[in-house]
Structures are given as structure tokens and as C-alpha cells.
Amino acid sequence: MSNQSAGRSGKAVGPRTPRSAEARQRQRDILDIAMDTFAARGYNNASLAEIADRAGLTQAGVLHYFRSKALLLTSVLELRDRSDIEQLGPDRPQGLAFLRHLVDTATRNAEREGIVRLYAVLSAESVTDDHPAQDYFRGRYDGLRALVADALREACGLTDGKEDRVEHAADAIIAVMDGLQVQWLLSPDSVDMAASTDLVVTALLRTLAPDRFGPAD
């Protein structure tokens, strides 16, 4: 999803592009504060007034950079995505390497509680009517399911005839990772997200391709 939103005229309207280094830093500071605030309170309960106060600005000052609260939210989500893309590097891993990357992501997530909370809170909240992040999360899940399914096909060397099983396995991996995040946020000392993700990925690989990964236990 683009970090731009459509205005009434249909013309794309995104965050302003600051010219000075000081203004660019101020815009990034607003994003960091908004990320923390949305993670703690959700979109609906977070207020521009609180974000502005923490940033040392008026509400009009925040809107000078982001035009609307909804655009501020989508900009925060895009910032989160850029962080993940930077972790991947210039070449996205394929097949089994991508599945191992998911386990590595679970390990990294245990060190970035704020981003995990942001995703957990906003993804759940986005199912409500007219939530501004609903299209973002719908698109994100569609794209992630496709990536995981492609990785499973390549890792397992699957041909036609097992398409439903691959799609279901991709759904299961994503569901496990998201569910583990909620459990970990509530009880971080009791949940090992990486170990549980690795267990599920390994079990699904053995189920889909026992000739390559050994029979399921």
C-alpha cells in the first residue's frame, strides 16, 4: 500500500516533504511519538492533542506535516514496513530461506516490543467499520499469504494438486505468528515466539513434503 491517501478530488495526497534537516527530524520525531501512542491506545483512543503535546507542538503543527490523523496513522505503518524491508536487505530470501527468515523475525520481534504492540493493537482494531488502516492490513495479509505460500511451494518442490494444502499452511503460519505476538505481549517470560514459530514451520514442511523433510512426528 502506498503511503499516500486520496483526497476529495482523487489526487494523491501524502505527508509534506520537509526541506530542511531540522524539519525532517521533527517529522520523524512526530512519527516515533505517534507510533508509541497508537501502540499504547489504539487509533480511536489516541488523540492528536496528546501526540502534539508530546512533540512540543500544537495540533495544527502536527497537521502541517501529516494533514490528517488518518494520514499520520498510515505513515506510521509505512515506517514500520520500511524497518522490516531494511532488515531483509536488497535481495528477499526465497523458499526455505524465507521460511527461516520468518523464524528470525520472531526472534527480532522479542527485542522490539513497541512495534509488536503497534501491529497487534492496530491489526485487531482495523476490523471495525471504517477504520483507516483496514485497507492497509487487508493488503498486507494478502501479500504475506502469497509470499509464504510461494516459499512453501519452492521449499517443498510442490506441483499442482496440493494448492489448497499450501494455502492453508500459509494461513496457519501467519495465524501462529500473530497469535504468539499477543501471548508474548501479555506474558513475555512465558512465550518463546521464535521456538514456537520454528516448531510449526518444521511440522508443516514435514507434512507437505515428507520425502524432503522427513515424516511428520
Instruction: List 137's β-bridge partners, or say none.
Output: none
Tens digits of residue pLDDT in 181-217: 999 999 999 999 999 999 999 999 999 999 999 876 6
Domains of the chain: total: 2
Going 35 to 43 to 135 to 23, the CA torsion angle's sign is: negative
Q: Is 200 found in the same domain as 102?
A: yes
Q: Is 136 found in the same domain as 98?
A: yes
Q: Is 68 found in the same domain as 126?
A: no
Q: Is 183 found in the same domain as 131?
A: yes
Q: Is 110 found in the same domain as 38?
A: no
Q: Is 111 found in the same domain as 66?
A: no
- 3 lies in a domain? no
- 152 lies in a domain? yes
3-state SS track over 129-174: CCCCCHHHHHHHHHHHHHHHHHHHHHHHCCCCCCHHHHHHHHHHHH
154: domain CATH number is 1.10.357
Q: Is 57 found in the same domain as 101?
A: no
- 68 lies in a domain? yes
- 175 lies in a domain? yes
- Reduce the DSSP state of residue 180 to 3 states and report it: helix
Q: How confident is the model at residue 13 (pLDDT cuts 50, 70, 90)?
A: low
Cβ atoms of 134 and 127 within 8 Å: the answer is yes
Domain hosting 57: range is 16-73
Tens digits of residue pLDDT in 88-146: 666 778 999 999 999 999 999 999 898 899 999 999 999 999 999 999 999 999 999 99
Q: Is 99 found in the same domain as 64?
A: no
- 134 lies in a domain? yes
33: domain CATH number is 1.10.10.60
Q: Pick from 200, 184, 204: which is nearest to 192 by CA?
A: 184
Cell readout for 77 is 505503518
